[in-house]
Amino acid sequence: AAVLQEWAESSGLTLSIDERRVPVSPGVRGMSELLGLDPLHIANEGTMLIAVRQGAGHEAVSVLQTLSKTADARVIGIVKARGVAPVTVKRTLGPEQPLHDPLGSPLPRIC
């Protein structure tokens, strides 16, 4: 979520993602639940976030999915005019809501 926050703040737009569309491996999901962590707030080595012009997302994903390292690529959200928050998330259960930075000390971002 840190990169989404940075992009939204620097652009003045809102980035809106759908939690169900974010690829999270079963192992990471399970450990996150055990430890009470949100996978959206954990540093993700080997993960790439790409922004493309409106309408080009599905074409970009199609190209990425032809490669073994990016076969799990998908469109996870949209960019829209600044709304209630810089970043919003449609959770698996419930309405769209602001995606705030976690309370307390964040996990280190190693990049």
Q: How far apart are CA 41 and CA 62, in angstroms?
A: 27
Q: Which of 7, 2, 1 is nearest to 82 (CA)?
A: 7
Q: How far apart are CA 81 and CA 35, in angstroms?
A: 35
For residue 109, what pLDDT is reported? 55
Class of the CATH-defined domain 2-98: alpha beta
Tokens in use for 15?
């980035």
Q: Could you report the per-residue pLDDT of 2-22, keeping only the tens digit for each?
A: 899 999 999 999 999 999 999
- Global pTM value: 0.84
Q: Could you report the per-residue pLDDT of 61-74, keeping only the tens digit for each?
A: 999 999 999 999 99
